[in-house]
Chain A
Amino acid sequence: MTTSRTDRSDGDLVAAAAAGDRDAFAALYQRHHLGVYRFARTMTGSTAAAEDVTQEVFLAFMQGLDKFEEGRGALSTYLFGFARNVSRHRLRKEIRLVGQDNERESELQDPDDDPGQMAIRLESAARVRRYIRGLSSRYREVLILCDLQELSYQDAATVLGTRVGTVRSRLHRARHLLAERLISSGVQRSADKRGLRWAI
């Protein structure tokens, strides 16, 4: 009985792809592209940039297929490491884009905004995403990895090339900063009206 591609481990598929198996690489892409894309989308704040990052990640991956060692960690962790580096590199090059995001954020922080309107905004994940994007890279990436991609602290530490303790402390700080931003933008007032309260 043959093993279907969906049943095969990442290591098997990587080995097959390294030997030139197109279907194996396509299966790897299918299995991991969404995680990479979603990570990049939250990091960059742009779907177009996220697609570019995803493409760059898989191009880099295909060029170094033989460098992946299954024993050293999961492939998803390995690819998140690529995605993190590519996203950071891209963000450094696109300061203008970040500047525009900050402008939009400052609009949200207008204290004269109608509380009803703010409540509507509260329900929008896009708004929360914008606050996340307003965090510095070191906090944003740990928040995305642990709270959105739901990686373990250990895997996040592998992606970030740091210790688990550092991940914990950065994550704590990131959550704290995000809550502060949500509060200072007036979310708290609206949330209270709707019976929601924010916590760190």
Chain B
Amino acid sequence: MGHLEEKKRMFPADGLQAALKAVREDDALAQPRPQLRERVMRAWDTRQHHRRTSRASTFWFAAAASVAVVLTWSSSRLDRATGNAVADRAMALSTEDDGLLAPDVLMDDASSFQYVRLSLAPRTMAALGIPVANPADEEPIAVEALIGLDGIPRAIRYAQFRQESQ
């Protein structure tokens, strides 16, 4: 039997507990520096700030995405409606005798036209090459025109809308 074992045999009680108690008492006095609390709470503040920022970013991103989707959808519907109308008009103009159709009008994308109704002076009509009974007349003439995105009219004719509305 070793020396240590001999010693252990002769031990009465509570020596170890006394040593542990001494450590507990020493522990009771141990305090971390106040800076530790400051560091932890600063980390809390930073985290909360990031969370708020993140939440706001998520909200605004979602809102922006929703608006973009709505705009795209509306634009798509508008483009389809406008494009179809302009194409129809262009096709109609090309078959009518009383209008002036630029030679390349059907070569362009129909969605690149704007269909407008205008009132033009007879002399302006004459300047565009459209036959007018009396160019000196002051009475404006209602016309329909297809205007390209560059602002240049591609086609023009006497207005038909009064007849259409009847």
Give A residues with C-beta under 8 Å from B: 20, 22, 25-26, 29-30, 33-34, 37-38, 41-42, 47, 50-51, 54-55, 58-59, 62-63, 122-123, 125-126, 128-129, 132, 147-148, 150, 175, 178-180, 182-184, 188, 191, 196-200
Contact = CB atoms under 8 A, between A and B. Distances in A.
A26 B41 contact: yes
Contact of A33 (B25, B26, B32): B32
Interface of B: 4, 7-8, 10-20, 22-27, 30-33, 36-37, 39-41, 43-45, 47-48, 51
Given A20-B48, A62-B47, A148 B24 contact: yes
B40 A197 contact: no
B23 A42 contact: yes
A33 B37 contact: yes
A25 B37 CA distance: 11
9 contacts: A22-B44, A22-B48, A33-B32, A34-B30, A54-B32, A54-B36, A125-B22, A148-B23, A183-B8
Contact of A128 (B14, B20, B32, B48): B20
B18 to A, nearest CB: 7
B52 to A, nearest CB: 8
Contacts of B4: 180, 183-184
Contacts of B14: 199
A125 B25 contact: yes
Contacts of A62: 43-44, 47
A191 B24 CA distance: 20
B27 A198 contact: no
A200 B11 contact: yes
| Interface SS of chain A | helix
Given A148-B27, A183-B8, A123 B22 contact: yes
Contact of A183 (B7, B18, B32, B47): B7
Contacts of B24: 148, 150
B132 to A, nearest CB: 76
A198 B16 contact: yes
Contacts of B45: 22
A63 B51 CA distance: 11
A38 B15 contact: no
Nearest to A196: B15
Q: Which of A58, A188, A197, A198 has the most CB of B within 10 A?
A: A198
A48 B41 CA distance: 18
Contact of B23 (A128, A179, A183, A184): A128
A128 B17 CA distance: 11
A4 to B, nearest CB: 19
A51 to B, nearest CB: 5
